[in-house]
Amino acid sequence: MAGVFITFEGIDGCGKSTQLRLLASELRVRGLDVLTTREPGGTTLGQKLRAALLDVQGQVDPLAELLVFAADRAQHVRTVLRPSLAENKIVMSDRYADATVAYQGSGRGFKPELISEIVQLATEGLTPDLTLLFNLSVADSTVRTRRRVAAKNTDRLDSENVEFHERVRQAYLEIAQTDPKRVQVIDARGSAQETHALVMDIVIPFLEERGLLGEERRARTRVPRT
């Protein structure tokens, strides 16, 4: 049985990180071997690159940003993702290659051909089995990120203007339209528990198809709606 690779994507403030934690907790309770990780920052090297890219004060050249994200991903793929999938784990990553298409491609304006080449180089073709795209308007995202600003829990990309985040959001939706089998769009306007229920409605049948959840486990996994 091969491992399963699930990625969580969306604009800042969409709640993907919270949903990753909630899903991981649910699946671990049911005895599944789950690894959670993130980009950037899923490796020791990646943590340093994350600090250089997101926590730095001041300007980062867009090309430097693109290449450092690619370096982080290359390290992540080779030292975390592929080895964990080879051990038949359910690997869940907070952002992956779609983020580069959305943020550096549409957000920064790099040509699709360049983005595609760099993504292929860094990933060596490793593609998620399932991507959960948390769809939220930029207006709602701004409200949520303001709370993070108040809590001093923001990064450099949070401070980009509305137009930047609109381009990123639209790029994500276009990715979903292009690859609807892999990318499942989830309405992220509700509460964390309401969104979690939507996540479970997608992930549980997906894992059943993979032979990772039987009927007994499925019954225990159902999340009551509120």
Residue 55 is part of a domain; what is its CATH number? 3.40.50.300
3-class secondary-structure state, position 111: coil
Question: In this structure, are residues 80 and 43 in contact, taking their beta carbons and an 8 Å threshold?
Answer: yes
Residue 82 included in any domain: yes
Distance CA 118, CA 134 (A): 25
Q: How many structural domains is the chain composed of?
A: 1
Q: Per the domain annotation, does 202 fall within a domain?
A: yes
Per-residue pLDDT, 151: 46
φ/ψ of residue 36, rounded to 5: -105, 140
pLDDT of residue 156: 57
pLDDT value of position 145: 77
The values of phi and psi at residue 186, to 5°, are -120, 130
Q: How many CB atoms lie within 10 A of CB 187?
A: 11
Q: What is the pLDDT along the chain (226 residues), one digit of tens a residue?
A: 479 999 999 999 999 999 999 999 999 999 999 999 999 999 999 999 888 777 656 678 999 999 999 999 999 999 999 999 999 999 999 999 999 999 999 999 999 999 999 999 999 999 999 999 999 999 998 888 776 554 445 555 666 789 999 999 999 999 999 999 999 999 999 999 999 999 999 999 999 999 998 654 444 444 444 4
CA angle 159, 132, 30 (to 5 degrees): 120
pLDDT of residue 218: 47
Q: What backbone phi and psi angles, to 5 degrees, belong to 62?
A: -55, -40
Residue 57 belongs to a domain: yes
Whether 28 is covered by a domain: the verdict is yes
144 within some domain: yes
93 inside domain = yes
Residue 75 inside a domain? The answer is yes
Question: How confident is the model at residue 50, as a pLDDT?
Answer: 86
Distance CA(29)–CA(121), nearest Å, equals: 36
Does 226 map to a domain? Answer: no
Q: Tell me which residue range forms the domain holding 138.
A: 4-221
